[in-house]
Amino acid sequence: MIALQALSLYIRNMAQIVIRNLDEAVVDALRRRAAACGISMEEQARRALTSAVGLDREAAIRRLDEVRKRIGRLPGPSIVEDLRRDRDRDFK
């Protein structure tokens, strides 16, 4: 439940940009890197921008921890409890 609410908060804060007049060599390099990593060119661009502005994985984890502290423990079962209940139901 907390994870879903954090994800919802994260998605609401997502923005979009359009970058015009990129050099074709940059686009080709981005495409090659994405293919080498097995991800979309859009995801590769997202990762490159995220890294360039200093929001790496560790920074993202710190931001999520801050959100968790603000939200606190929410009432009801945790996502782990929900998953266990669903798994147990499937094996009955």
30 within 8 A of 41, measured Cβ to Cβ: yes
Match 């499937």 to its residue by tokens.
Answer: 90
Give the residue from 45, 40, 38 showing the smallest Cα distance to 18.
45
* Per-residue pLDDT in tens (0 to 9) along the chain, 92 residues: 555 555 555 556 678 889 999 999 999 999 999 999 999 999 999 989 888 887 777 887 888 889 889 988 777 778 888 888 888 887 76
Contact (Cβ atoms closer than 8 angstroms) between residue 77 and residue 85: yes
Tokens of 75: 């009432």
Task: Quickly tell me which residue has 């090659």 as its tokens.
Answer: 32
